[in-house]
Chain A
């Protein structure tokens, strides 16, 4: 392998493989384009559900909602994840990327597929929602686009695994892979099951759409499709946790409190996280409660245990690092003195907190077999996953972008003030979207619904009047989130295309990688760990979790008896 394909990163000292770097750039840039596109569709949705504004007519609302779901939940997220996989393999392991030409083929397949699906949706005959439940039929291009995208993503995941094999064979690293790479391995494994499930159900659906297959069973479709639809969001969980560890390491010099514990937590994800696809099927006919309980609990909530572990390990690692960096005062001196003006750090920390509180707790609660009765298909569901996918994953990916631009694109971040405020703006907007949708959902309001006043229906029904104000606040939150997202796109696009080149001087004056801290004392001994602040944070979190859990059982016990 010619060394000329490599450069040495002046920030990290890592050997960077040129083709890998180009592929990371391409995937990340396209990801941001789909984020911008999907985000705008999201704004249209939020402004339509704000009843006083009611922006779009019904057909365009359902079109925009379909596009929003596909562009954000699939295209933005997975393009960015492929960039993360290449980074976590080739870059972190000092290795060449396996088969760059094949990786480009994967990229093209994904891009063509994503565009094809978007065209199908924009033509107006594929407003079937991201879930495309049969027997509602989209244009065949919609399914084919998703299939091409999935095949491309699978090829990219294979390139990732191939790179791991090369790195091991060529001994580009010693011992075990870094924790961040291990998290990426977890994400890639989840991606394989996800894409396989997608293929198993979307290929026959595509054949059905062109008339080659007579009928597709709706219940089988939902079981298998959610193996794809829900699992695709579990790729996010693993990828975003990796980003948390990576950002803490780069920005603060944090190291995992325990490699063993963090990796075991990822292992729990590998084994059990995907069972949660059953969350969507808890009120479907004919599936037994045994199947529901085993799957919806991720096998005794062992995958949730994994998240609880990361939920302590990440802030704990930050606290340890900050204390080593000299911020030892009181319980929270380390947190007060954290680099809140660095969007990579603030975005990451907000992602941890919001994901845990808004996404994590609510996900477990709505995944409780019986409680799902009061939540299924209400606005609570999108409220929950705006907590996971938008506040958790998207914010984490935004945060890591503030490191990717200087480290991989070799450009200085432009509009530093705007960048500083961006995670807060976006976090605030998404928090509002999440909380208000969950509030409306608790009052029974349906998701994916154009008119909660039912003005065109032959009968009348009134939701509690409060929901109109709640959905107005939701609309305002949508505007704030869009501004926050727009700030991100502006900063990143401007920096990538017009930013000042990051030369030696910038590397010296504006270091990205944490220099201080010195050698960290050996971890793994009980007396070296002093994390009182994290203990308080984690205890508060757990208290809120338990409280809200029982509140929802109380709500459930108030509905009519069913058996």
Chain B
């Protein structure tokens, strides 16, 4: 029994049952396959993180975001008063997270690639772009850069999905995708 020592002193020498051998082989090969899938997706799949990141001082990052916003602001959002920024297609675009907002609102063009920079000015935040459903962890002091290519037009919500204090559930941002 499993609650008593093995009866066979040399239990390691017991042969495997056929079915056990099969199951272990299947499980092992499936594990190799699943590992291979991740590598394969890096080579051929379209959804991969670049893992490009830099250390950055929050003040420096804020200046970068504000400079980009000053250059490309096209209007203010009626509900929130947050500037809507329409940077050139294919350029570097910046967004910051802070208690409790995403700033600014980015207006991007469908089918164009952008280098999206993300960082936090204070605590950890979660970048959850919905409904396309892309979720990223946003840190202060680290600037994350990823290339993103919007595929549908419309208003997309950016929900904070990392708990960031009592105003967490009000932390809602926006990304607008136009033709």
Q: Do chains A and B touch in the complex (CB under 8 A)?
A: yes
Binding site for B on A (CB under 8 A): 12, 58-59, 62, 92, 127-129, 133, 135-136, 173-180, 217-219, 222, 245-246, 248-250, 253-262, 281, 283-289, 292-293, 296-297, 300-302, 304-305, 308-309, 312, 317, 364, 368-370, 372-378, 443-444, 446-451, 454, 456-461, 463-464, 522-526, 529, 531, 535, 538, 542, 545-546, 549, 553, 555-557, 559-563
Contacts of A443 in B (CB 8 A): 131
Nearest to A173 among chain B residues (CB) is B5
Q: Is the pair A133, B136 in contact by a Cβ cutoff of 8 Å?
A: no
Q: How far is the CA of A399 from the CA of B99 in the complex (A)?
A: 45
Q: Is the pair B19, A300 in contact by a Cβ cutoff of 8 Å?
A: no
Q: Is the pair A369, B38 in contact by a Cβ cutoff of 8 Å?
A: yes
B116 to nearest A CB, angstroms? 9
Q: Is the pair B128, A179 in contact by a Cβ cutoff of 8 Å?
A: no
Query: Which of A281, A309, A563 is B24 in contact with, Cβ under 8 Å?
Result: A309
Q: List 29 A-B contacts (CB under 8 A).
A: A136-B165, A176-B6, A177-B5, A284-B137, A286-B51, A287-B51, A293-B35, A293-B39, A297-B35, A302-B28, A305-B24, A370-B41, A373-B49, A374-B133, A377-B128, A378-B133, A446-B161, A447-B161, A459-B79, A459-B172, A459-B173, A529-B18, A546-B30, A557-B47, A559-B134, A560-B134, A560-B148, A563-B46, A563-B147
Q: How far is the CA of A250 from the CA of B3 in the complex (A)?
A: 8
Q: Is the pair A560, B150 in contact by a Cβ cutoff of 8 Å?
A: yes
Query: Which of B3, B26, B131, B136 is A283 in contact with, Cβ under 8 Å?
Result: B136
Q: How far is the CA of A446 from the CA of B134 in the complex (A)?
A: 12
Count of A-B contacts judged by CB separation below 8 Å: 302
Q: How far is the CA of A460 from the CA of B53 in the complex (A)?
A: 30
Q: How far is the CA of A437 from the CA of B22 in the complex (A)?
A: 35
Q: Is the pair A301, B31 in contact by a Cβ cutoff of 8 Å?
A: yes
Query: Of residues 135 to 179 in B, which have CB atoms within 8 Å of A's CB atoms?
Result: 135-144, 146-151, 157, 159-166, 168-174
B95 to nearest A CB, angstroms? 14
Q: Is the pair B47, A559 in contact by a Cβ cutoff of 8 Å?
A: yes
B21 to nearest A CB, angstroms? 9
Q: Is the pair A458, B2 in contact by a Cβ cutoff of 8 Å?
A: no
Binding site for A on B (CB under 8 A): 1-6, 8-9, 11-12, 14-20, 23-24, 26-28, 30-32, 34-35, 37-39, 41-42, 45-51, 53, 77, 79-80, 101, 122-124, 126, 128, 130-144, 146-151, 157, 159-166, 168-174
Q: Is the pair A285, B137 in contact by a Cβ cutoff of 8 Å?
A: yes
Contact A301 B34, CB 8 Å, known A218-B139, A444-B133, A459-B79: yes
Q: Is the pair B128, A444 in contact by a Cβ cutoff of 8 Å?
A: yes
Q: How far is the CA of A368 from the CA of B34 in the complex (A)?
A: 8
Q: Is the pair B142, A219 in contact by a Cβ cutoff of 8 Å?
A: yes
A538 to nearest B CB, angstroms? 7
Query: Which of B31, B123, B136, B161 is A378 in contact with, Cβ under 8 Å?
Result: B161
Contacts of B51 in A (CB 8 A): 285-289, 292
Q: Is the pair A178, B4 in contact by a Cβ cutoff of 8 Å?
A: yes
Query: Which of B3, B14, B134, B146 is A374 in contact with, Cβ under 8 Å?
Result: B134
Nearest to A563 among chain B residues (CB) is B147
Q: How far is the CA of A89 from the CA of B116 in the complex (A)?
A: 55
Contact A219 B139, CB 8 Å, known A287-B51, A373-B134, A458-B79: yes
A361 to nearest B CB, angstroms? 12
Q: How far is the CA of A177 from the CA of B142 in the complex (A)?
A: 49
Query: Which of B5, B31, B79, B101 is A300 in contact with, Cβ under 8 Å?
Result: B31
Contacts of B136 in A (CB 8 A): 283, 373, 376
Nearest to B177 among chain A residues (CB) is A560
Contacts of B6 in A (CB 8 A): 175-176, 178-179, 259
Q: How far is the CA of A443 from the CA of B132 in the complex (A)?
A: 9
Contacts of A526 in B (CB 8 A): 15, 17-18
Nearest to B129 among chain A residues (CB) is A560
B131 to nearest A CB, angstroms? 6
Q: Is the pair B170, A378 in contact by a Cβ cutoff of 8 Å?
A: no
A412 to nearest B CB, angstroms? 21
Q: How far is the CA of A523 from the CA of B8 in the complex (A)?
A: 9
Nearest to A442 among chain B residues (CB) is B133
Contact A458 B170, CB 8 Å, known A249-B1, A258-B20, A260-B11: yes
Nearest to B34 among chain A residues (CB) is A301
Contacts of B172 in A (CB 8 A): 454, 457-461
Nearest to B110 among chain A residues (CB) is A560
Query: Which of A133, A262, A301, A458 is B30 in contact with, Cβ under 8 Å?
Result: A301
Given A449-B163, A542-B26, A546-B30, 10 other A-B residues pairs in contact with their CB atoms under 8 A: A129-B163, A179-B3, A309-B23, A377-B137, A448-B168, A460-B172, A461-B157, A555-B133, A556-B47, A560-B151
Q: Which of B42, B77, B126, B133 has the most CB of A within 10 A?
A: B133
B94 to nearest A CB, angstroms? 15
Q: How far is the CA of A464 from the CA of B42 in the complex (A)?
A: 31
Nearest to A14 among chain B residues (CB) is B3
Query: Which of A222, A450, A562 is B49 in contact with, Cβ under 8 Å?
Result: A562
Q: Is the pair A463, B130 in contact by a Cβ cutoff of 8 Å?
A: yes
Contacts of B135 in A (CB 8 A): 283, 372-378
Contacts of A444 in B (CB 8 A): 128, 130-131, 133, 159
Q: Is the pair B163, A557 in contact by a Cβ cutoff of 8 Å?
A: no
Q: How far is the CA of A262 from the CA of B163 in the complex (A)?
A: 40
Q: Is the pair B47, A373 in contact by a Cβ cutoff of 8 Å?
A: yes
Contacts of B15 in A (CB 8 A): 524-526
